[in-house]
Amino acid sequence: MYQTVFRQIQREYEIKRNKAIEDSEKRKKDLRMLYPEYTVLEENLNNFAIEQAKALITKGGIDKQVVEENLETKIKELNSAIEKFLVTRGMSKDYLKPRYECRKCNDTGVMQIDGIDKKCSCFVQKLVNITYKQSNMLKLKEENFNTFDTCFFSNVPNKEKYGSDKSPLENIENIKKIAIDFCNNIENPNQKSLLLIGNTGTGKTFMSNAIADRVISKGYTVLYQTAPVLMDMMLDSKIRGNKEEELRGKYEQIFDVDLLIIDDLGTETLNSMKFTELFNIINTRLLKNKKTIISTNLVLPELAEQYDARVMSRLIGNYIICKFFGEDIRLKKKMMEK
C-alpha cells in the first residue's frame, strides 16, 4: 500500500510536470502568432542551441572551449533579448517558462542536497496527507495568520478570572509573536517546541493551524493529529506494523515530520503503553531536533497528575508554555450570529 501510494504520487508529478511544459509551449505558440519578431528571436536562440550541441560533440581542445564560451554568451544575450521583449510588452520575464507548482524541485519530487537525491518536502507532504487522509489540513484555508482576528479578544485585564495582569488581547498578541518566531526558527536547535494550554474555545487549535499553514508554505512537512487518534494509531502500528508496510510508514512519519502537532492532549483514554509511546514521541523528536506542538485543556498540575514525571520534565524543560485565556470564542461567535 505504501509503495502504491508512492507510485501514485510519482505519476501525479509526471502529469503535473508535463502539463506545465505543455502550457509553456502553448504560450510560445500564441506569441509566435501574435508577434513575428518573437519568432525570429526564438529561431535564433534555437539555432545557437543546436550549434552549441554540435560543438560539444565535434571540436576538441582550446578551440572547443572558445567556441563554447562564445556560444554561451550569445545564448545568454538572446535569452535576455527575449526577456526584454516580454517585459516591454507588459508580460513577466518568466512568462514563457514552465510554471511548476514547487520551485524547489520543479515538480520532480526530488531535490539534490550536497549531490544526493532527496525527496522534496512537497513530495513528503503529499505522502503524509494521503497516508493520513487528514481532514484537518483542509482547515488551513480558514485558520491562518491572514484570517487571524483579534476582535475576539478583550483588551480588559481580569486578574481574578484569568490569573494574569495581561488582557486576553495582549496575551494573544504575545503568543502570536512567539508563534511566528517559532515558524521562522523551525530548524534552529535553540528553538523550543510549544505547549499550548488553555480552556476550550480560546484559540489553541486556530494557532496550531496558523503555524502549520506557515510552516508548510516554507516547505516543511507537518502532521496534525488529535491525541486520541495519534495514540491509537501508534499502538496499532506497534502491534501490526511489522507486517504491514503502510502502518510502518505511518509510524515512521510521527518521528520524522518536521512539525508534529498533537492536539487535545489529555482527552485520550490512558494506559501504560500510551505513556511509554508518548514519552517516546516527545523524547525522540527532541533528540532529532524536530519541533512539536502540543495543546491541552488541562492545566499544568492536572497534566502532572496524568502523565509521568519523565514526560513532564521534557515538557517543562524544552517547551515554551503558552497560556491561552479569554472568553470562549466559539460561544462568542454563535452569539454574534444571532
Ligand X SMILES: Nc1ncnc2c1ncn2[C@@H]1O[C@H](COP(=O)(O)OP(=O)(O)O)[C@@H](O)[C@H]1O
Site residues, ligand X (CB under 6 A): 143, 148-149, 152, 198, 200-206, 324, 329-330, 333
Which residue, 149 or 252, has its beta carbon nearer to ligand X? 149
Say if CB 194 and CB 178 are below 8 A apart.
yes
- Using CB distances below 5 to 8 A depending on partner kind, what does residue 203 bind out of Zn ion, ligand X, Mg ion, none? ligand X
Q: What's the closest the beta carbon of residue 325 comes to ligand X, in angstroms?
A: 10
Is 205 a binding residue for Mg ion by CB under 5 A? The answer is yes
- Using CB distances below 5 to 8 A depending on partner kind, what does residue 311 bind out of Mg ion, ligand X, Zn ion, none? none
- Residues near 171 by Cβ (< 8 Å), separated by ≥ 6? 153, 164, 323, 324, 325, 326
Q: What's the closest the beta carbon of residue 203 comes to ligand X, in angstroms?
A: 3
Is 226 a binding residue for Mg ion by CB under 5 A? The answer is no
- Using CB distances below 5 to 8 A depending on partner kind, what does residue 149 bind out of Zn ion, Mg ion, ligand X, none? ligand X
- The residue number whose beta carbon is nearest to Mg ion equals 205
Question: What is the grid cell recorded at 307?
Answer: 502523565
Please write down the long-range contacts of 17-26, taking CB distance under 8 Å and 24 or more positions apart: 17/98, 17/100, 17/106, 17/107, 17/108, 20/98, 20/99, 20/100, 20/101, 20/107, 21/98, 23/98, 23/99, 24/96, 24/97, 24/98, 24/99
- Residues near 288 by Cβ (< 8 Å), separated by ≥ 6? 255
Q: What's the closest the beta carbon of residue 193 comes to ligand X, in angstroms?
A: 17
Question: What is the grid cell recorded at 31?
Answer: 506569441
Over the window 97 to 136, marking each residue x when it contacts Zn ion by CB under 5 A and - when it does not, the resulting string is: -----x-xx--------------x-x--------------
What is the Cα–Cα distance from 182 to 169, expressed in whole angstroms?
20
Is 140 a binding residue for Zn ion by CB under 5 A? The answer is no
- The binding site for Zn ion (CB under 5 A) comprises 102, 104-105, 120, 122
**Site of interaction with Mg ion (CB under 5 A):** 205
